[in-house]
Amino acid sequence: MKPLSRRLLSRSLRARGLRALVAFLISFALGAIVVLSLELRAELRTLQEEPVDSLQWNVTQLELDVVRLEAAVALAQAQAPAQADPQSQAQVSLTELRKRFDLFYNRAGTVTQGTMFAQLGLLEAVLPLKARMQGFLDSTTPLIDGTDVDLRAALPQILASVGALRQDMRVMSIKVIDMNAALQDSRRTGLSDILQMIAIASVALIVLLLGLLGLVATLNRQAARRAREVKRITSRLEATVGTSLDAVVVAGMDGLVIDFNAAAERIFGYTCAEAIGQPLGTLIVPPHHRAMHDAGMVRMKATGVKHVVDSGRMRMTAMRKSGAEFPCELSIASNDSPDGMIFIAYLRDISDAQQAEAALVAARDEAQGAERTKSNFIAVMSHEMRTPLNGVIAALEIIGRTSLDAKQARFLGLARSSSKQLLRHVNDVLDISRIDAGFVALAEDRLDLPALLATLVDPLRPAAAQKNTQIAVQLLSDFPPLRGDPFRLGQILQNFISNAIKFTEDGTVTLEAEMQQIKGDQAEIEFRVIDSGIGILEADQDRIFDDFVMVDPSFGRTGEGTGLGLGISRRLARAMDGEVGVESTWGAGSCFWLRVPLTVAGDVAANRAVTLASNLPAPNLLAPLLAVATSGALDILVVEDNETNRIVLEEMLRHLGHKVTLAMDGGEGVVAARAHPFDVVLMDLSMPLMDGWTAAALIRSEGASRSSRIIAVTAHARPDRMDRFAESGIDSWLTKPLSTRDLAAALTFDTGAALAGPDAPLMDMDRMAELAQIAEPQALARLLAQFQTNMDGILDSIDAHAAAAPSASLAATCHEGAGAAAVIGATRLHAHLARMEALCHAGNRTAVLADHAGLRALWDATRAALLAQA
């Protein structure tokens, strides 16, 4: 049926096109005949009205007047004047001369100022003659109008001018007559062409009319065949619509039903006879939708705008004869018919499909809910496991400070190793849960890539040495100052390096860094960790970054872990808009790569300010920090709901020589802090009844400890809501599980300026000894050299800004320098820079200038002490 319909449509279109073409050609021929006839009539009228004869007569008369004027001038010149005889022959000749000049003057004006030359298109041809005659008239008229004596004296000159004018008139007259003759010949040729074109158009019109007669006969025969084909098509269409599984309802522009197929009878419950002639709105549209349906029909009739018609499939509610409503899928098309526009509605009962869809959605939601519940459970359990681990690890550290025999020390070492491995597993699961939940936080800190890579590699060298494996770092490019997240970047690279060490015996592990490209303020850096280990089978390379996948070909596993490290690495890389991958050959080693965009840092001082801004204590808290007792013993409030953690923290703090007060929850901690001015408040964040955020905010609002330091104690490895620290008044945080060293550093770092006076040693020898133990000599030398380079830059920046008013930027630079000095053990330099930072925040310009005056000398002394230690 469809091919036949297309054939009928194609024939109909061809017939319509042919009729349109013939009609166009006939109209064109008739139009051409009319236009040519009008043009011919205009040309004939122009020929009748053109002053051709008048032109020739005037030109001839003008030439004759010139001849007569010339004769009059010659006669007047030939006769001698008579004294006092106005009737003398000479006097009469002058009178005749003036008469002839006046006649010529008038004739020349009539010819030159008239429109006959313009009408005939000869205006440009006579311009030279007009100019010549005008010059003659302008020069001769004063003489003609003057005295007889003057006139007679000028007769020879006038005669010469008239003679020359006569010659020009003769030449110009012949030229004008010739041009006019040529013009008339052209006009006659144009008339002849118009007559020929009219004849051609008439013949063409006759031919087209004959062709039209033939076409009409052909179309009559085609119409008869088409009628038979339409009858067959109609029969097939009726059969198709009648057997359709979808309801087909046809309505007119008045909204009355025209056709109602068998499927519509089955779906709606009306017979075709009952439905035809009924308003569609009252037949199948539910009552609460009829007003909208009627308004749409009225709007479409008035404006022609269709909102539902010809808009594709949509879902709505329909009504059966019984009044029951059901969901349906509806599509309405419009079409022109001999009786006007009609609308064909295709409806499908989707009650069963909708029920199935609802069941699928419910199943999906249930599955997603279960997945969320599982993820939340894993996250919560991982978080909660860190709390008892804090107690276990801290308790083991406390036991380690007691006297133990060899067997006890060995079992204590096993317990410490196991607890640390369990902590790593918990951290991996927690990282996966947090990243998948979208809670990963990325810092934007200044990066010193060479120093960062050395920091990552050096702690892993002992593990590599146990497997007789060498670790090397190669910088294949020069790197500009960059900004990014050193913690997350180091987490990925350290995972790659650790894995490489696990599977490499008696070989090498190389960490490479190379600049790929710089676009604007973005630099694409590629890191590669290349090992000479056992390699990875090609079949396993695609799944190595999946969760819980541990590719180990040996019968006994050679590596420990959860199989989450590479999965976390890929998630972190994508969070930084980067990507990770692996290239490996079985038996020949592997290359794990990380390609990540990093921001190119601008002004170094400005970048330091941006990097450190989020870590600065609140300005109004710095004064109390510097007022801590010089004895070093702090009055500390511990707010912790877990009994084990309270006991462990109390033991650690008392061991460090501090006074400790315990609070079992946030509310109790607020009451204690408001009643007594504590130096430091250690605040657990996850507590029932009142969490640490709320408790810290209440402590800051009023009470004796509103200016005290508040340090959060959290099981999260890296808190995401950094803004909540400032909102709640929390200065910094510590991560569980805690060690005595971490706790001591957190309690003393920000108070170093008060505790270290001018008599303090330049260098902390214990700190230098600790650095020497954890780093190889070459690594320590690089660290000290890098520290000196960084400190030179920091001091240059301080010198450039110290003379101005104290600013946040200068405070940030001092803070960075104090932190670097504390890490390296430069005790007095750390105290000096920390004091300058506090004075900047206090706005004390005089004190800042005084401290700045001795800063360079202190740095030179510290540098000398560093060189002596190296």
Determine how β-strand 659-663 pairs with β-strand 635-639.
parallel
| Nearest CA among 424, 847, 452, 813 for reference residue 603 | 813
Model pLDDT for residues 599-641, shown as the tens digit of each residue? 887 543 333 333 333 333 333 323 333 333 333 688 999 998 8
When comparing pLDDT for 866 and 623, which is higher? 866
How would you class 85 by CB atoms within 10 Å of its CB: exposed for 0-12, middle for 13-18, buried for 19 or more? exposed
* Residue 187, token pair as written in the block: 């006009």
What Cα–Cα distance (Å) separates residue 7 from each residue in 1, 325, 483? 10, 42, 70
| 355-434 and 442-602 share one fold | no
**Residue 709 to residue 700: CA distance in whole angstroms:** 10
DSSP state of 664: S
Mean pLDDT of all residues in 766-778? 62
- For the chain, the domains span 1-243, 244-349, 355-434, 442-602, 757-870
* pLDDT bucket at 302, cuts 50 / 70 / 90: confident
Model pLDDT for residues 14-26, shown as the tens digit of each residue? 666 776 777 777 7
Mean pLDDT of all residues in 761-776? 66
- Residue 600's beta-bridge partner residues? 482
Largest CA distance in the chain: 175
pLDDT over 50 at 442, yes or no: yes
When comparing pLDDT for 515 and 79, which is higher? 515
* pLDDT bucket at 530, cuts 50 / 70 / 90: very high
- Residue 593's beta-bridge partner residues? 528, 581
The number of beta carbons lying within 10 Å of the beta carbon of residue 767 is 15
pLDDT over 70 at 255, yes or no: yes
User: What pLDDT does residue 695 have?
Assistant: 92
User: What pLDDT does residue 661 have?
Assistant: 94
Looking at domain 355-434, which of 3.90.550.10, 3.50.50.60, 1.10.287.130, 1.10.150.530 is its CATH number?
Answer: 1.10.287.130
User: Of the ranges 54-63, 324-333, 724-733, 821-830, which one carries the lowest mean pLDDT score?
Assistant: 54-63
pLDDT over 60 at 498, yes or no: yes
Q: 601: number of CA atoms within 13 Å, CB side?
A: 22
User: What pLDDT does residue 207 have?
Assistant: 82
**Cis amide bond preceding 737, omega within 30:** yes
Model pLDDT for residues 155-183, shown as the tens digit of each residue? 888 888 888 888 877 777 777 777 777 77
E-assigned strand segments in 187-324: 247-252, 257-260, 314-319
- Residue 318's beta-bridge partner residues? 326
Model pLDDT for residues 722-743, shown as the tens digit of each residue? 556 767 888 878 876 677 777 8
User: What pLDDT does residue 756 have?
Assistant: 46
When comparing pLDDT for 815 and 475, which is higher? 475
When comparing pLDDT for 410 and 630, which is higher? 410
Model pLDDT for residues 539-572, shown as the tens digit of each residue? 676 767 766 555 554 433 444 555 567 877 888 8
Task: Tell me the residue length of the chain.
Answer: 870
First to last CA, the chain: 97
318 contacts 286 by C-beta, under 8 angstroms: yes
What Cα–Cα distance (Å) separates residue 800 from each residue in 605, 812, 813? 10, 14, 11
User: What pLDDT does residue 845 have?
Assistant: 80
* pLDDT bucket at 32, cuts 50 / 70 / 90: confident
DSSP state of 641: S
- pTM assigned to the model: 0.37
pLDDT over 90 at 682, yes or no: yes
Q: What is the enclosing helix (H) or strand (E) of 446?
A: strand 445-447
Give the DSSP per-residue string, 21-54.
HHHHHHHHHHHHHHHHHHHHHHHHHHHHHS-HHH
457 contacts 511 by C-beta, under 8 angstroms: yes
Model pLDDT for residues 187-224, shown as the tens digit of each residue? 777 777 777 888 787 888 788 788 777 777 887 888 88
Looking at domain 757-870, which of 1.20.120.160, 1.10.510.10, 3.40.190.10, 2.60.290.11 is its CATH number?
Answer: 1.20.120.160
User: Of the ranges 2-6, 389-393, 653-657, 862-866, which one carries the lowest mean pLDDT score?
Assistant: 2-6
* pLDDT bucket at 581, cuts 50 / 70 / 90: confident
User: What pLDDT does residue 239 have?
Assistant: 67
Query: Which residue, chain included where needed, has tokens 């010549």?
Result: 132
* pLDDT bucket at 784, cuts 50 / 70 / 90: confident
User: DSSP 3-state assignment of 551?
Assistant: coil
User: What pLDDT does residue 216 have?
Assistant: 79
The number of beta carbons lying within 10 Å of the beta carbon of residue 306 is 14
Mean pLDDT of all residues in 817-837? 77
pLDDT over 50 at 847, yes or no: yes
How would you class 163 by CB atoms within 10 Å of its CB: exposed for 0-12, middle for 13-18, buried for 19 or more? middle
pLDDT over 90 at 660, yes or no: yes
When comparing pLDDT for 330 and 8, which is higher? 330
User: What pLDDT does residue 37 have?
Assistant: 76
User: What pLDDT does residue 717 have?
Assistant: 45
The number of beta carbons lying within 10 Å of the beta carbon of residue 204 is 16
User: What pLDDT does residue 619 have?
Assistant: 31
Distance of CA 244 to the CA centre of its chain: 49
Q: What are phi and psi of 381, to 5 degrees?
A: -65, -40
Query: Which residue, chain included where needed, has tokens 């006959």?
Result: 116
User: What pLDDT does residue 613 have?
Assistant: 31
Helix locations, 79-154, DSSP H? 89-113, 116-120, 127-145, 148-153
* pLDDT bucket at 11, cuts 50 / 70 / 90: low
* pLDDT bucket at 870, cuts 50 / 70 / 90: low
- Contacts (Cβ under 8 Å, ≥6 apart) of 777: none
| Nearest CA among 373, 420, 754, 410 for reference residue 560 | 420
Distance of CA 711 to the CA centre of its chain: 41
User: What pLDDT does residue 753 have?
Assistant: 33
**Average pLDDT of the residues of the chain:** 76
Four-CA torsion 80, 81, 83, 84, nearest 10 degrees: 150
CATH of the domain spanning 442-602: 3.30.565.10
Distance of CA 449 to the CA centre of its chain: 31
User: What pLDDT does residue 638 have?
Assistant: 94
pLDDT over 80 at 232, yes or no: no
pLDDT over 50 at 755, yes or no: no
Q: What is the enclosing helix (H) or strand (E) of 442?
A: none
pLDDT over 90 at 670, yes or no: yes
User: What pLDDT does residue 481 have?
Assistant: 83
**Residue 809 to residue 802: CA distance in whole angstroms:** 10
Top mean pLDDT of 365-369, 728-732, 752-756 is at 728-732
When comparing pLDDT for 866 and 508, which is higher? 508
Conformation bin of residue 729: beta by default, left when phi > 0, alpha when psi is -120 to 50 = left
301-304, Cβ contacts within 8 angstroms, sequence gap of 24 or more: 301/253
Q: What are phi and psi of 478, to 5 degrees?
A: -90, 135
Looking at domain 244-349, which of 3.40.50.300, 3.20.20.140, 3.30.450.20, 3.10.450.50 is its CATH number?
Answer: 3.30.450.20
User: What pLDDT does residue 387 have?
Assistant: 63
User: Of the ranges 152-161, 285-294, 762-771, 787-796, which one carries the lowest mean pLDDT score?
Assistant: 762-771
User: What pLDDT does residue 763 have?
Assistant: 81
**Residue 758 to residue 97: CA distance in whole angstroms:** 134
User: What pLDDT does residue 558 have?
Assistant: 45
User: What pLDDT does residue 556 have?
Assistant: 36
E-assigned strand segments in 629-688: 635-639, 659-663, 680-684
**Residue 595 to residue 599: CA distance in whole angstroms:** 13
Taken in order 30, 31, 36, 41, the sign of the CA dihedral is: positive
When comparing pLDDT for 137 and 83, which is higher? 137
User: What pLDDT does residue 528 have?
Assistant: 92
User: What pLDDT does residue 616 have?
Assistant: 32
User: What pLDDT does residue 608 have?
Assistant: 37
* pLDDT bucket at 527, cuts 50 / 70 / 90: very high
Determine how β-strand 522-531 pairs with β-strand 590-600.
antiparallel
**Residue 341 to residue 847: CA distance in whole angstroms:** 91
356 contacts 367 by C-beta, under 8 angstroms: no
* pLDDT bucket at 510, cuts 50 / 70 / 90: very high
Give the DSSP per-residue string, 707-763.
TSEEEEEES-SS-S-HHHHHHHT--EEEESSP-HHHHHHHHHSTTHHHH--TTS-SS
pLDDT over 50 at 413, yes or no: yes
When comparing pLDDT for 64 and 304, which is higher? 64
User: What pLDDT does residue 363 have?
Assistant: 86
pLDDT over 80 at 350, yes or no: yes
User: What pLDDT does residue 799 have?
Assistant: 86
* Residue 502, token pair as written in the block: 């696990």
| Nearest CA among 849, 822, 780, 681 for reference residue 458 | 780
